[in-house]
């Protein structure tokens, strides 16, 4: 363990306290540790650009703004090899929330995710990088046979 002293502006400190209250944290160290883990894991993954990974990219956008809905669909088709699934929900008359699950090399997945998030008009974009399951994890055919078939 190392002991660090950090300085936060009032607004950030208040946001941290609110976050702690919402999520039931009783000490600041624990809350800050959990907040840092995701970004640090992403940063670590980014150092291995060829490593296979999964990513969950989420963003809100106004589908009518400068043809944004169409542009996002085109971008996804251009990167279809990275796409695993997309969830789209219409939040109101104008706003859509999309969650895209991607799989591929870290560098490609990050480039595509950044491109989606940076499209003009996209709001609240965020990405989580997750390690991809190992391809040699287990034998699917053996697994299916043991379970009595069914694929
Ligand atoms: Ni929509």
Look at 30 and 146; give whichever has higher pLDDT: 30
**Structure-model confidence comparison of residues 132 and 9, the more confident one:** 9
Distance 93 CA to ligand 1 centre (A): 8
Confidence of residue 99 (pLDDT cuts 50, 70, 90): very high
Domain region containing 127: 49-131
**105, part of any domain:** yes
- 127 Cβ contact partners less than 8 Å away, ≥ 6 residues apart: 42, 55, 56, 57, 58, 110, 113, 114, 117
pLDDT, position 48: 84
46 versus 147: the higher-pLDDT residue is 46
**Cα 99 to middle of ligand 1, angstroms:** 12
Q: Are residues 82 and 119 in the same domain?
A: yes
Say yes or no: 35 and 73 in one domain. Answer: no
Q: Take residue 150 and report the two structure tokens written for it.
A: 């069914």
Residues 38, 53 within the same domain: no
pLDDT of residue 130: 85
3-state SS record for 106-141? HHHHHHHHHHHHHCCCEEEEEEEEEECCCCCCCCHH
Whether 60 and 35 share a structural domain: no
SS3 of residue 76 by DSSP? helix
CA 127 to ligand 1 center in whole angstroms: 20
């Amino acid at each position: 363990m190392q002991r660090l002293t950090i300085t936060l502006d009032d607004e950030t400190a208040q946001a941290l306290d609110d976050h702690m209250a919402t999520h039931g944290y009783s000490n600041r160290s624990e809350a800050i540790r959990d907040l840092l883990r995701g970004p640090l894991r992403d940063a670590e993954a980014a150092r291995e650009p060829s490593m296979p990974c999964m990513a969950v990219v989420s963003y809100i956008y106004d589908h009518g703004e400068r043809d944004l809905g169409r542009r996002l669909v085109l971008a996804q088709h251009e990167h279809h090899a990275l796409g695993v699934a997309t969830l789209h929900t219409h939040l109101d008359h104008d706003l859509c929330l999309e969650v895209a699950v991607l799989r591929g090399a870290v560098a490609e997945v990050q480039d595509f995710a950044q491109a989606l998030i940076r499209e003009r008009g996209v709001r609240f974009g965020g990405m989580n990088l997750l390690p991809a399951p190992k391809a040699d994890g287990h034998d699917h055919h053996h697994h299916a046979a043991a379970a009595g078939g069914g694929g």
